[in-house]
Amino acid sequence: MDTLDPYATAIEKMISLCKAQHGESIKAYWFYKEDLCPCCAKREIGLFKFQHEDAFSLNAFMYNERSVLIGYALCRVCVMDLRQASKKRVAVMHDQIEKHLIEAYHKHLSLAN
């Protein structure tokens, strides 16, 4: 990882934790690097204040169909929505996030070929 990248350490730690959870089922990694949040597709991703500290929402999900761990970040508004939403609303938001990320991953693959 690039030591000049302020997120590199956090991403390395996230991958390590995911490896511990998913083990050998992870065949590849991909990080969503678009500017817009994969949940709302409206707002930019970036640092935000949380409890008076700079915060960054770093997340991952396992795309089992392809055995790919997909990392992503969310905008401040979606993070706060997820923290306060009902279980049903959280499930809907996660479904939306995964749908957008899978579409972005397939787009990435098509551009790579």
6 pLDDT band, cuts 50/70/90, is low
Query: Please, which residues have CB within 8 angstroms of residue 62's CB and are 6 or more apart in sequence?
Result: 18, 22, 25, 26, 68, 69, 70
- Give percent of the chain above pLDDT 90: 48
Output the six-digit token pair for 31.
Answer: 């990080």
* Residue 113 reports pLDDT greater than 90: no
Quick check: 98 pLDDT over 60?
Answer: yes
Counting Cα atoms < 13 Å in the Cβ hemisphere of 67 gives 7
In this structure, what is the dihedral angle of CA atoms 11, 1, 4, 56, given to the nearest 10 degrees? -10
Residue 2 has pLDDT above 80, yes or no: no
Model confidence over 51-68: pLDDT tens digits?
Answer: 888 888 889 989 999 999
pTM for this structure?
0.83
User: What three-state secondary structure class fits 64?
Assistant: coil
